Amino acid sequence: MSEECVPAEYAEMDLIEAKRFDKKVRENFMPAITSTVKQIIEDYGALEGVCVDVGCGTAIFAIELCKHSRLKIYALEKEKAISEVARMNIEKERLADSIIPVLGDAHDLPFASDFADFIVSRGSYHCWEEKVGVFKEIYRVLKKGGIGFVGGGFGRYVSEEESNRMKSLRDHSLKENAKAYRSPDKLRAVICKADIANFRIIHDKAGLWAELKK
């Protein structure tokens, strides 16, 4: 993984750094997580079946989604220490029956084809080295009739004040070339190259997202 694609703070963390990362997300970005989950439930209804969260971090998002759905969530993360903190968070919430931490890479998803009813990925896209390949993987793993929701942002339910505060924190930590991936045209081009026809780009207050349907 090249340095430019993975923000330094995610690459090869040890457990102490991963716990610090977890604390930082909780302190600074919780409104974005609750807002995006609220939006997902409002837009896609009572979700059930199998979900994969690609680039789940410490599973804060997966835990919130689990609490508002009947999904069984496979929380995939490539950094070992972050995945370990995800496992601890899931156990602390007593959700180990519903959320399974999986150590793995988005470029080679360790799931069978047509496995998931819902695939979500928030805030991980800018890190992927071979974005077309990851979208192909996501589409392969999606079941017929399934939905993918991939992108980044704070969801439509954050206040303007929260949004501005989180934007400045996020932009401060992102490298310039990661910011460039916030272009809807680039995202559309990547998905077209992955030979996915049934999708739409959402670029609004909620952030920049791709909704995939199979």
Ligand X SMILES: C[S@@+](CC[C@H](N)C(=O)[O-])C[C@H]1O[C@@H](n2cnc3c(N)ncnc32)[C@H](O)[C@@H]1O
Strand intervals (E) in 10-153: 48-54, 70-77, 99-103, 116-122, 142-152
Least Å distance between CB 108 and ligand X?
9
> Residue 101 in contact with residue 88, Cβ under 8 Å?
no
| CB proximity list for 135: less than 8 A, separation 6 or greater | 150, 190, 191, 194, 196, 212
| C-beta of 98 vs 121, nearer to ligand X | 121
CA distance 24 to 99: 22
DSSP class of 95: -
Does 66 bind ligand X (CB under 6 A)? Our answer is no
Residue number, 78 or 214, with CB nearest to ligand X? 78
Binding-site string for ligand X from residue 111 to residue 140, where x marks contact by CB under 6 A and - marks none:
-----------xxx--xx------------
The reply on whether position 61 binds ligand X by CB under 6 A is yes
* Stretch binding ligand X (CB under 6 A), from 72-80, 90-98, 158-166, 201-209: 72-80
The helix (run of H) or strand (run of E) holding residue 24 is helix 15-44
Residue 201 beta carbon to ligand X: minimum distance, rounded to whole angstroms: 19
60 binds ligand X (CB under 6 A): yes
Which residues contact ligand X (rule: CB under 6 A)?
10, 25, 55-57, 60-61, 76-79, 82, 105-107, 122-124, 127-128
